[in-house]
Structure 1
Amino acid sequence: MKKIERVTLIVLDSAGVGFLPDAAEYGDLGANTFAHIGYATGGLNVPNMEKLGLGNITDIEGVKKLEVTEGAYGKAKEVSKGKDTTTGHWEMAGIITDVPFPTYPNGFPEDIIKEFEEKTGTKTIGNVVASGTAIIKELGDEHVKTGALIVYTSADSVFQIAAHEDIVPIDKLYEYCKIARKMLNVGRVIARPFTGESGNYTRTPRRHDFSLVPTSKTILNKLKEAGKDVVAVGKISDIFAGDGITESKGVNKNNLDGIEKTIKALKEDTKGLIFTNLVDFDMAYGHRRDPIGYKNALEEFDNKLPEIYENMKENEILIVTADHGCDPIFKGTDHTREYIPLLVYGKNINPVNLKIRGKFSDIADTIEELILGVEKEGSFAKDIIK
């Protein structure tokens, strides 16, 4: 098998391709993020992902099924319990989560809020399940007036703290988040800073996720221990609490910024893994039920694929995938329990049908075999390399 020196793994955050067999347990029977965006918008125009085989994975209006593709294609099933960012990314890196992270659909218990207020010396307001943009619109004035921190959650396992940067300096907000991180077993504690004036508050790019440290060794650790580079783009470093990362390019201002950082990383002489998360699909369009915005973002990414290809060497491959679904025309605003796409490109790739992979962790197994030469049960390395 031809040696591969670098893999670029790009996660289109929430771009699922159809509900999983156990979706009914999560209330997600019928969800299909990619397909429903095509249906709701009159069709997707993503010719580069189409050439890789996207239309062969699920029926998407505007995306053709092809007998001959330029890449390998398939989809993967999640076996971890949950449908959140941490669970999905950890599984594709090799960790199966058997017990889901706790969620708080009715807000956090009084004793948690009381402890947090005592440890920070600061009052809180909110403590509800809410959209981040909606809650700062609703409670921003009260926060500015009183200095009380806006605490809220979502359908995910998250403890989110919103604060105006003029009221709570960003370092202080991060300090409060670190206090909450030590207290809680949620998947992520998230700093949600904002600026502006009454009626015109806007969130800033200084969001920071404080995640749990991975519970066991991941493909990131294995690569780093072998002396390979693990370059994180976007919130990847946050998701893994920096564990196994050799370099972080920082949080993305938006998807395009993340794509440009990925291209810049490709130009560098590294060997190992470039791991990118493009969160706008989920944060800006999925949760906000905006299929038009989601469509435009997918087409923007697709337009940049040729430039990504141009900066790839002979001995490297690209894997495009997702971490869960967030169907913008399905009921509610929550993530959806879906298969994730697998699109693989490289100058020496066999354009094969990878079919349905049994675990997201087949991605980790494949990377380990490709770069470290360790044969793994779930790997599809031998299928894709000529």
Structure 2
Amino acid sequence: MINRVIWIILDSVGMGELPDAAKFGDVGSHTIGNIAKEYGLDIPNMRKLGLANIEGMINLEQVKQPKGVYGRVAELSNGKDTTIGHWEMVGIYSPVAFPTYPDGFPSEITDQFEAFVGKKILANKPASGTAIIEELGKEHMETGRPIVYTSADSVFQIAAHEDIISIEKLYEMCRQARDMLTGEHAVARVIARPFKGEPGSFYRTANRRDFSLTPPEATVLDNMKAHGLDVIGVGKIEDIFSGKGITEAIHTKDNMDGVDGTIAYMKKDNKGLIFTNLVEFDSKWGHRNDVEGYAKGLEAFDARLPEIIENMKDTDILIINADHGCDPTMPGSDHSREYVPLLAYGKPLKENVDLKTRKTFADIGQTISDIFNLEALKIGESFLKEMKK
């Protein structure tokens, strides 16, 4: 019997270009494999579960008898961002990509936003979050004008110094932008990007918040909640789903805080799903092309994996996967269109089960639906029978 699923998303930890990667400019991407080649990776615990044995994995030494269930998963939807990836996992197929703004936002957006803010904006272009505050942070502090920028993803990001624009005021700006960005301009996420420090030494704080589009249809999360099961979000999960289908949530400041929060919930009496996103792989190392930081981040998570497993009940299973790639060894700093690894483990599961290559992230959500005897999702194929004892 399976009473609880601990589902951990290693944000951006991809494992090799998808067949259509050329359309996204991502030929050659392999987040895990390229990091392992360039820096090396000491991740014995994920390897024991079968990470290195996954079809298409490179530059990691396989183990003879993996203890877990393992495979790789393709993304069916048209995109390579957090929202589309997470939505597909829980049953939403997105054939149309969210809007992006490689030339900045048009005046019909900026005029309306500036009217609300009462000031002209700074930037209005795609940029690295750390680079843009170094470039415009001083002017922002002198003028009070918010820094508005985007990226290759479908995002409207607002950066502001916490001493110039309060956190609550920044969140209010984001909520206004979220209400405004609809129809053809319905970006996936509006993101608050607060920072502190002085010119030359600015740093982003942990008060980031994502204001996402509300999922357009019911997901496995909604179905679990409707059946009285717990759906606990750790990290930015609550933001990604705009709170929909979530019964309880905490926000976290970094990966290790996310692991701590997950374990704290595992020690409590709950039934259903603990759903965790560990975002630093993406936000701190992937987008900054920090290969060493990314490698050390993977090693730090791997070192905590035995602790996670030790806190599992006999009726728990653990699922680990990613939502897209963000290969720090590639030119540019954007997400990459990649397969993602899938690992599963627990007393109710068989050992050394190779799931091969799955066609859609929704196979995971469909499997969770199967575990709890819920309504079938519109897409995805359950692999429960293949892995359950």
Do the two structures share a fold, i.e. TM-score over 0.5?
yes
2:69 paired with 1:72: yes
Q: Structure 1 unaligned segments of length 5 or more: list them.
A: none
The C-alpha deviation readout for 1:90-140, integer Å capped at 9, x for no partner, is 000110111110000111112211111012222201001111111111101
The C-alpha deviation readout for 1:12-55, integer Å capped at 9, x for no partner, is 000001111111111111110000000110x2111110011111
Partner SS, residue 126 of structure 1: strand
CA distance change for structure 1 residues 374 and 174 in 2, over 3 Å: closer, same or farther? Answer: closer
Distance 1:187 1:375 in 2: 25
Partner SS, residue 42 of structure 2: coil
1:192 maps to what in 2? 193
Q: Quick one: which of 357, 378, 381 aligns to 2:381?
A: 378
Partner SS, residue 359 of structure 1: coil
Distance 1:124 1:206 in 2: 21
Q: Give the superposition deviation at 1:372.
A: 2.7
Distance 2:279 2:57 in 1: 24
Distance 1:229 1:348 in 2: 20
Distance 1:321 1:381 in 2: 16
CA distance change for structure 1 residues 40 and 183 in 2, over 3 Å: closer, same or farther? Answer: same
1:353 maps to what in 2? 354
Paired residues for 1:130-145 under 5 Å: 130-145=127-142
Partner SS, residue 138 of structure 2: helix
Partner SS, residue 197 of structure 1: coil
2:273 paired with 1:273: yes
Distance 2:375 2:96 in 1: 29
1:14 maps to what in 2? 12
Partner AA of 1:342 in structure 2 = L
Partner SS, residue 297 of structure 1: helix
2:236 paired with 1:239: no
Partner SS, residue 327 of structure 1: coil
Partner SS, residue 372 of structure 1: coil
2:28 paired with 1:30: yes
2:49 maps to what in 1? 52
Verify the 8 A CA contact 2:6 2:275 in the aligned structure 1: yes
Partner AA of 2:297 in structure 1 = A
Paired residues for 1:138-157 under 5 Å: 138-157=135-154
Verify the 8 A CA contact 1:120 1:179 in the aligned structure 2: no
State the aligned residue count: 381
Partner SS, residue 197 of structure 2: strand
2:169 paired with 1:172: yes
Partner AA of 1:15 in structure 2 = V
TM-score, with structure 2 as normaliser: 0.96
Partner SS, residue 302 of structure 2: helix
The C-alpha deviation readout for 1:190-237, integer Å capped at 9, x for no partner, is 011111122221111111100000011011101000000000000000
2:279 paired with 1:287: no
2:95 paired with 1:98: yes
Partner SS, residue 372 of structure 2: helix
Distance 1:153 1:16 in 2: 22
Q: Give the superposition deviation at 1:374.
A: 5.5
Q: Structure 2 unaligned segments of length 5 or more: list them.
A: none
2:180 maps to what in 1? 183
Partner AA of 2:344 in structure 1 = V
The C-alpha deviation readout for 1:145-180, integer Å capped at 9, x for no partner, is 111010000110000001111111111111110111
Paired residues for 1:247-258 under 5 Å: 247-250=248-251, 252-258=252-258
Partner AA of 1:204 in structure 2 = T
Q: Quick one: which of 158, 163, 172 aligns to 2:160?
A: 163
TM-score, with structure 1 as normaliser: 0.97
Verify the 8 A CA contact 1:44 1:60 in the aligned structure 2: no
Distance 1:207 1:130 in 2: 17
Verify the 8 A CA contact 2:31 2:328 in the aligned structure 1: yes
Greater shift after overlay, 230-239 or 368-377? 368-377
The C-alpha deviation readout for 1:280-337, integer Å capped at 9, x for no partner, is 0001111100111011000000000110001111111000000000001112111000
Verify the 8 A CA contact 1:46 1:298 in the aligned structure 2: yes
Distance 1:170 1:20 in 2: 39
Distance 1:125 1:301 in 2: 37
Q: Where in structure 1 do 4 or more consecutive aligned residues deviate above 4 Å?
A: 373-377
Partner AA of 1:269 in structure 2 = D
CA distance change for structure 1 residues 302 and 35 in 2, over 3 Å: closer, same or farther? Answer: same
Verify the 8 A CA contact 1:140 1:198 in the aligned structure 2: yes
2:333 maps to what in 1? 333
Distance 2:50 2:268 in 1: 28
The C-alpha deviation readout for 1:50-69, integer Å capped at 9, x for no partner, is 011111123343x3223311
